[in-house]
Amino acid sequence: MASFVNHPLIRPETIETRLYQELLVARVAEKGNSLIVAPTALGKTVIAVMLAAHKLQENPGTKILFLAPTKPLAVQHQKSFIKFMTLNEEEVAVLTGTLNAKDREEVWKKSRIITATPQAIENDIITGKISLKDVGLVIFDEAHRAVKDYSYVFVAKNYIKYADKPSILALTASPGSSEEKIQDVCRNLFIQNVEIKTAKDEDVKEYTNDIEFQFEVVELPPKFMQIKRELEIFMKEQMLFLKKLGFAHSINSKFFGKRQLIELQAGIRRNLVQKAKENPQVYLAVSRVATLLKISHAHTLLETQGIPALSDYFKKLKSESDSKSSKAVSFIMKHESILEAIEITNELSKQGIDHPKLERLKHILQKQFAENPESRVLVFNHYRGSIRYLEKFLAKCEGINAKRFVGQADKGEDKGLSQKEQIQILDEFRQGKYNTLICSSVAEEGLDIPSVDLVVFYETTPSEIRHIQRRGRTGRFGKGKVVLLIAKGTRDEAFYYVSQNKERQMHRTLSDMKSENTLPKQQTLIKFINEVKDQILIYADHREQASSVTKTLIDMGAMVKVKQLEVGDFIISDDIAIERKTVEDFLSSMLDGRLMNQLIKMKENYASPLVLVEGNQEDLFVMRNIHRNAIIGMLTSIAINYKVPVLFTKDANETADFIFVTAKREQLGSDKDIRLRVGRKGFTLNEQQRFVVESLPMVGPTMAKALLKNFKSIKAIVDASEDELQEVEKMGPKKAKQILNVFRAKYEEEEK
């Protein structure tokens, strides 16, 4: 007889007792900020619910925040909390970008548990709509995303910095294969403890089901191999050219992959300016790498997707070549080997030839439904165009009712599915209207997809994370099956072995880190205390709200207020407005005239405006087709005619450093109220009142606030006598007389 978790905040008989789950909750409560790595079917969400119940019982006045990468996932987690916990439904809310900021602020105040997308929470932290001070636990779902500039990183930093009693739970099926990647995730989420569970562990075996793996290997037809050779001739020629220039080290086909080519491209761009002076052909190198990336993609489509996908791609390249929008594409479309590959592709397309995987897929699905008519199947395909084609092909196959299932983003002419459409398709899949979903990566992460009997990889993936997530869609409620379609002698084979090696490496690395206690030291777990009197205040334009600069300034301890500014991107004092531009934006605004208008407005409103140009200064002269003398002339004009300094920073972090240090110099030890006369849009009533009072003679921000605080309204200030005005601190008779003169002097129109 099944036993259930007994807790005052968990509904009776809703969570079945599993010892490994209870032990994990206990270890996280004991060890602190923890990362749990476990397969999809082991109930990571249930562990999160149990820990949330523990935290709420321990500290009833706190909130729980559960973050998930997508809105459907956030909604799904909300339903789980409502299902399992005894709280009222109105105390469990969802916050995403679809709800306006004001409503999100109200929902945040009245809710005890909030499931949300990290971007929505990040925006509300930046704008000051919410504070994480009273949050007792933050749960990061799909925690492997916590790298680089993803919103998880900012939210975690802010939470650790300002929460009274911070506690973090991170959940993932795979944090990555390399120690560097895993350390990065742990560092960004302030992880102190790692817990690992696999389907082979003794304490979880009874809760897992076997998954049968089957490999279906197909051979590419001779004509496919002929196209493949022609594409490789082109790629080897370009690699040989790059090798002669000293950029490529080999012309071996193993370096034709997308990742290797992107790394090669990044290396060339880093050395562009220096190499260009030594060898002007370096500009050709940039173009040749671009051609390699395009033909590498064609090569991948041929091997893994087939003739229709390749034919569509060649048509796209032909259109770009005809429009002369890209020199790289024009070069490609004149090459003899590419023209031969296109001719063979067109010939096969006319004959209706497709990839041999297609017929094999049809056979696999029909066999599955013949043996088990009630089966549900997921077919994963990385390419949206191929998903559409597979849907049309399978629609003609007896016994197969297939439906496309993709994300919300549009990919060219391929329209995405809204959240409502996704939910409807999943319901219809559950009810049996469709027995097959042809899925993009949107179905890999956590969605509440019904029980699936078979998962088909139309192509393999080199990512161990995606491999684990795909196979985790089956075997949840019974024995599962995974079929991998592999084209012999292609990257399908290579990618499979790469993903397997990465997964093994992941488990070794996690075990080593746990046993050797090599988790990153979290210096930033020390409580940050900022005295309000010493906190730097910076106004940022609303367009900078999600920028790395704004987030970094907040991390540095600045109070950033986001407003719609008419002048500048950042206002740091009465005298200083800063216009931030990337190198590319500087050149664009120079060409379209925006730069001149911005300089004029800044000079009219601020005594010491600044322009910060972010990026490599030398890129100014190579990024756009603008004569060097024109750029130098513009920089000279800005400095001499407009008397506005132009300073260069290498990246967003250095820009933030400059703004923070300059603001600190301007504000600390002096009157730090910043004049808001920078535009009339987007101000609150309070700010509009200050705006009006600051326009009075000899009245700065502090005096304006003092007058309004004393008299309560602008009308009362206008009605005040000279003696009454002087009751305000630092208001002398001279200043009072000048203010009264503005109010009472008769207006006389100036002669023209």
Closest C-alpha among 297, 316, 136 to residue 231: 297
Greatest mean pLDDT among 47-51, 196-200, 518-522: 47-51
Q: Is pLDDT above 60 for 522?
A: no
Residue 740 belongs to domain with CATH number: 1.10.150.20
Supply the pLDDT for residue 523: 43
Q: How confident is the model at residue 317 (pLDDT cuts 50, 70, 90)?
A: very high
- Summarised one tens digit per residue, pLDDT across range 609-632 is 999 999 988 788 877 778 888 889
| pLDDT attached to residue 735 | 87
Kindly state whether residues 315 and 233 are assigned to the same domain.
Answer: yes
Q: Average per-residue pLDDT in the chain?
A: 86
What is the per-residue pLDDT for 656? 94
What's the CA gap between 702 and 625, in Å, rounded?
49
Determine the pLDDT at residue 507. Answer: 81
User: Would you place residue 527 in the very low, low, confident or very high pLDDT band (cuts 50, 70, 90)?
Assistant: very low
Q: What is the CATH number of the domain that holds 298?
A: 1.20.1320.20
Residue 470, phi then psi, degrees to nearest 5? -65, -50
Q: How many Cβ atoms sit within 10 Å of the Cβ of residue 409? A: 12
DSSP string, 287-326: HHHHHHHHHHHHHHHHHHT-HHHHHHHHHHHHHHHHTT--
CA separation for the pair 708, 714 (Å, rounded): 7
Query: Does residue 50 register a pLDDT over 90?
Result: yes
Same domain, 62 and 188: yes
Angle subtended at Cα 153 by Cα 152 and Cα 158, rounded to the nearest 5 degrees: 100
pLDDT at 13 exceeding the cut of 50: yes
pLDDT of residue 677: 53
> 459, 488, 517 — which closes off a domain?
488
Q: Does 540 score more than 80 pLDDT? A: yes
201 lies in the same domain as 322: no
Whether 524 has a pLDDT exceeding 70, the answer reads no
What per-residue confidence (pLDDT) applies to 253?
62
Per the domain annotation, does 32 fall within a domain?
A: yes
By percentage, how much of the chain surpasses pLDDT 90? 48
Say what the pLDDT of residue 675 is. 59
Residue 360 lies in a domain: no
Q: Quick check: is 14 in a domain? A: no
195 and 78, same domain (yes or no):
yes
Residue 571: per-residue pLDDT: 93
> How many whole angstroms separate alpha carbon 483 and alpha carbon 363?
12
Give the residue from 348, 379, 351, 354 showing the smallest Cα distance to 457.
379
Asked if residue 141 is part of any domain, the answer here is yes
Say yes or no: 135 and 238 in one domain: no
Q: Which domain holds residue 565?
A: 532-667
Q: Please compute the mean of the pLDDT values over residues 252-274 and round it to a whole number.
A: 70
pLDDT at 750 over 70: no
Predicted confidence at residue 277, as pLDDT, reads: 53
In a domain, 117, yes or no: yes
- Of 635, 667, 699, at which residue does a domain stop? 667
* Rounded average pLDDT over 470-497: 88
pLDDT at position 256: 66
Residue at a domain's end among 453, 488, 523: 488
Number of domains forming the structure of the chain = 5
Beta bridge partners of 16: 4
Give 681 or 96, the one with higher predicted confidence.
96
Q: Are residues 546 and 651 in the same domain?
A: yes
**Nearest one of 339, 392, 329, 331 to 362, comparing CA atoms:** 392
Residue 78 and residue 191 share a domain: yes
Residue 38 in contact with residue 142, Cβ under 8 Å? Answer: no
Q: Which of 49-58, 69-78, 253-262, 359-368 has the lowest mean pLDDT?
A: 253-262
pLDDT band for position 670 (50/70/90)?
Answer: low
In a domain, 518, yes or no: no
- Clarify whether residues 571 and 616 are in a common domain: yes
Q: How far apart (Å, rounded) are the C-alpha atoms in residues 236 and 299?
A: 13
pLDDT band at 214 (very low <50, low <70, confident <90, very high): very high
CATH of the domain at 448: 3.40.50.300
* Parallel/antiparallel/unpaired status of strands 577-582 and 570-571: antiparallel
| 47 and 187 housed in the same domain | yes
What is the pLDDT at residue 702?
80
Residue-level pLDDT at 674: 64
| Residues 598 and 452 both lie in one domain | no
**Is the domain of 594 the same as that of 704?**
no
5 is a domain residue: no
Do both 61 and 159 map to the same domain?
Answer: yes
State the average pLDDT over residues 408-416: 82
Query: 294 in a domain, yes or no?
Result: yes
pLDDT at 112 over 80: yes
Domain CATH for 589: 3.40.50.10130
Residue 676: pLDDT above 60? no
679 band by pLDDT with thresholds 50, 70 and 90: very low
Q: How confident is the model at residue 681 (pLDDT cuts 50, 70, 90)?
A: very low
